[in-house]
Chains A and B, each alone.
Chain A
Amino acid sequence: MHTLKPLTSLQCGQTARVDALTLQGSMRRRLQDIGLIEGTQIECVHKSPAGDPVAYLIRGAVIALRAEDSAGVLVSCG
């Protein structure tokens, strides 16, 4: 059974699949433009020293997202 959780809950090294974006407006568009849509594989690769932002591997590119933005991305593991 898949459980939906925010991207922020992903630990380093974990991989998940994007299920929905609850973000609105320009941030939603920007994430979509870099390929973050339903079904996209996403891996959490590093956390910055303060724990925020966090770097994710999305479609072969490493991208840093702030918690305020990644909280609006719902993912499911496994």
Chain B
Amino acid sequence: MGLTSGSTGRKAIDEGLLICRESPEDRVVGLAGNPNVGKSTVFNGLTNLNQHTGNWPGKTVSNAQGRCKHHGKGFILVDIPGSYSLMAHSAEEEVARDFICFGGPDAMVVVCDATCLERNLNLVLQTIEITPRTVVCVNLMDEAKKKNIQVDLAELSRRLGVPVTGAAARSKKGLDALMDAVDSVVVGSFSTDHALRVPYAPEIEEAIALLEPALEKPCGKRLSPRWLALRLLEEDQALIQSAQQYLGVPFSEDPAVQEMLEQARDRLEKADLLGDALQDAVVSALVRQSEKICAGAVRYADRSYSSRDRKIDRILTSKATGFPIMLLLLAAVFWLTITGANYPSQWLSTGLFWVEDRLADFFVWTGAPSFLCDMLVHGAYRTLAWVVSVMLPPMAIFFPLFTLLEDLGYLPRVAFNLDRYFKKCSACGKQSLTMCMVLPILH
């Protein structure tokens, strides 16, 4: 399915909201995370569904669902699109944010990459702002260990005020502990009263303090008034519309809210913090807070990425060796695909055409009219046999090889090498991979 406007954006979330509970006791848990942190692997590990995991951001555009049982309790897991932020700058972010705000999850899980936790915390902080019933799952702990990065999960949990668990989802480690933590948040045995509140610049805090009390009543327990106040100040019209629909209260027309909003905006205007400046200040506060949290909870043996990775990257992307290696690798993949496929193709066609002869014999034996035999056996069956024997072997060789390159992380390097050239034809480097995929099929 392509990315039509219907499969992204608002329509997708509307469809995503159709949560299929198997029993009314089932709890809904949303799974968020930055792109490429192994979120889909966590999802698959928990639900035993086999959702394809891809290496490109925004793999999950609409919300996939699966059910998992933990200590006799049912949980519906909703895999929401990977994003770096919930400020709704893209369709993925909008779907992610709308699910957390309006999808009514009983708990949220934010999957993080232990090897670059600081960047991931931005999303964690934004999620906690919307709902404190959040569990942080620090994935790729095995990778972090290899890179000598130590993550103090207990300290992280103390600083964030929500449960934090470690995991290595690829080897299915830590998933039980994750579900224990989710359960503790859902039943309330872990109190999220002390969930972190990101402090903003004093002027912004004053503006929020003015507006927040007026929003407490319309929000009830369904939305965080502090969070909504900030979005009102940012004038996020689309969100305000959705929030009014969700709460069923046209709060932006409430005179009390309007009056306070005006006062709050005056306050911000004096500090020159309206529009873009406000967004800048909000994002900066989130990034600084992430930095501060990580400073005490994550220890890097080597802050920069390892010299081994650096050397490999240099070889794979340098002027002298980047292209030759790329051409060699792709040539090897194509050669294996094209030459290697000949043998199984041969066997398949021999086998399938032998079956054709037997089928024809069978038709003759039954005494069926010859046009029927021609149509079904020499027509339909033969075409099918041809297509299968020609197409199946190259695909069965090419795609696993390509997946191997993807898993090794080589494909982003190819995109990096080729981006400039593809850009000249108004494409981007990532599309070189689509082209690679098309070549053997054309063959």
Contacts and interface: CB of A to CB of B under 8 A. Distances in A.
A77 interface: no
A51 B139 CA distance: 34
A53 B419 contact: yes
B416 A30 contact: no
Interface in A47-78: 48-53, 55, 57-62, 64, 66
Contacts, number: 91
A32 B419 contact: no
B314 A46 contact: yes
A34 B420 contact: no
B371 interface: no
Contacts of B116: 59-61
A37 B122 contact: no
The winner among A26, A29, A58 for most chain B CB atoms within 10 A is A29
A29 B280 CA distance: 8
Main secondary structure on B side of the interface with A: helix
Contact of B290 (A24, A35, A61, A66): A35
Contact of A34 (B90, B119, B322, B417): B119
Given A33-B87, A37-B283, A37-B287, A46 B119 contact: no
Interface in B401-429: 416-417, 419-421, 423, 429
Contact of B118 (A35, A48, A50): A35
A15 B288 CA distance: 20
Interface in A2-48: 24, 26, 29-30, 32-35, 37-38, 40, 43, 45-46, 48
B323 interface: yes
A37 B287 CA distance: 8
B122 A57 contact: no
Given A49-B318, A49-B322, A53-B416, A38 B313 contact: no
Contacts of A30: 84, 89
A35 B287 contact: yes
Contacts of A35: 118-119, 122, 287, 290-291
A46 B429 CA distance: 16
B420 A50 contact: yes
A57 B313 CA distance: 13
B366 interface: no
Contacts of B287: 32, 35, 37, 40
Nearest to A40: B287
Interface stretch (B153-161, B182-190, B302-310): B302-310
Nearest to B304: A57
Contact of A60 (B85, B90, B300): B300
Contacts of B290: 35
B323 A33 contact: no
B419 A64 contact: yes
A60 B305 CA distance: 7
A37 B284 contact: yes
B283 A49 contact: no
B284 A26 contact: no
A49 B280 contact: no
Contact of A26 (B89, B288, B303): B89
Nearest to A12: B314
Given A29-B283, A32-B284, A52 B420 contact: yes
Contact of B416 (A24, A29, A48): A48
A45 B87 contact: no
Contacts of A60: 115-116, 118-119, 300, 303, 305
Interface of A: 24, 26, 29-30, 32-35, 37-38, 40, 43, 45-46, 48-53, 55, 57-62, 64, 66
22 contacts: A26-B90, A29-B87, A34-B119, A35-B122, A45-B310, A45-B313, A46-B313, A46-B317, A46-B318, A48-B317, A49-B317, A49-B323, A49-B417, A50-B417, A50-B420, A52-B420, A59-B119, A59-B291, A60-B118, A60-B119, A61-B119, A66-B419
Given A26-B89, A55-B416, A64-B416, 17 more contacts: A26-B90, A29-B279, A33-B84, A33-B122, A35-B122, A35-B290, A45-B305, A46-B313, A51-B420, A52-B419, A52-B420, A59-B118, A60-B115, A60-B300, A60-B303, A62-B305, A66-B419
